[in-house]
Amino acid sequence: MQGLIGKKIGMTQIWDDNGVAVPVTVVEVGPCPVVQVKTLEKDGYAAAQLGFEPQKAQRLSKAERVRFEKAGVETQKVLSEFAPDAADEVKAGDVLTASVFEGVAYVDVQATTKGRGFAGVVRRFRFAGGPHGHGGHSKRRPGGIAARDLPGWVEKGKKMPGHMGCVVRTTQNIRVAKLVAEENLILLHGAVPGPNGGIVRVTKALKKASK
C-alpha cells in the first residue's frame, strides 16, 4: 500500500547515531482496515479504501454502517483511498499496520492546516509591513494595492487580508527518523501540517525514492 491514515500525536526529540538531537513529529499510523478494494475493471482505477479510528456503529447512518458490515470490519471514523503497490494483494477485511512503511526513507504528509481565522497581510502573505518607528502609521498595513489611472483597477488575485489556514496542504519528502512498527508509530523529521490530534494522510514520497 502507498500509505496509511494517521493521527498527529505531537513533537518531541530523539538522538541519532551520531549523537545529534533530531526534532521529530510522532504520527500514529494505522491500524487501517481495508473497507473496499477498487479495481481497474470495475471502477476504472485501482485503489484501496482504508478506515481509521474505530467509531460506535450507532453514530453512523445505515448507509455508512453497511459498507463496514459488508467488508466485515469494525465501523471507522475516517475513510480514505490509497493507491496500491504493484505487488499488493489486499482484500476487504485486511488490516494494515505501520509495517507498510518498513524500509521507507521519505514520506509525504497531507493534512488540514491549523485555522488562523481572518489574518492580515503580514501574517498571511509575509508582507514586510511599514515602519514601527519614526512616526510610522502604517505598521501592519498592506500599502498601495494598485496605481491610480493606469490600469485604473486592482489586479485580480491581489494579496489582501482574509481567511487563513484550515486548508488541505501536503508536505513532501519528509524524512522518516524512526519507525516503531509494533506501536504503529512513525517518527518524522521536522514538522507536519495540522494540529496535534489531527488526522493526516501519510504516503510514500512521490518524488523522492527510498533507497
Partner 1 sequence: MIAKALEKVNAMTAEKNPKKCPELAIGDIVRVSVKIKEGDKERIQVFAGDVIARDGKGITETFTVRRISFGVGVEKVFPFASPSIQSIEVTGHAKVRRAKLYYLRSRTGKAARLRAL
Give me the residues that bind partner 1 (CB under 8 A), please. Answer: 7, 9-10, 12-15, 18-19, 21, 24, 26, 28, 180, 183, 185, 187, 196-197
In the complex, least distance from residue 9 CB atom to partner 1, rounded to whole angstroms: 5
8 A C-beta contact, residue 100 and residue 30: yes
Nearer to partner 1, 10 or 190 (CB): 10
In the complex, least distance from residue 7 CB atom to partner 1, rounded to whole angstroms: 8
Angstrom distance (rounded) from CA 107 to CA 2: 10
In the complex, least distance from residue 12 CB atom to partner 1, rounded to whole angstroms: 6
In the complex, least distance from residue 8 CB atom to partner 1, rounded to whole angstroms: 9
H helices present in 1-160, as ranges: 40-43, 62-71, 121-125
Angstrom distance (rounded) from CA 20 to CA 103: 22
Nearer to partner 1, 149 or 182 (CB): 182
Nearer to partner 1, 9 or 164 (CB): 9
Nearer to partner 1, 10 or 136 (CB): 10
8 A C-beta contact, residue 118 and residue 162: yes
In the complex, least distance from residue 149 CB atom to partner 1, rounded to whole angstroms: 57
Question: 115-145 burial, b if ≥16 CB within 10 A, otherwise e?
Answer: eeeeebbbebeebebeeeeeeeeeeeebeee
Nearer to partner 1, 47 or 101 (CB): 101
State how far the alpha carbon of 209 is from the alpha carbons of 39, 49, 104, 107, 206, in Å: 26, 24, 8, 9, 8
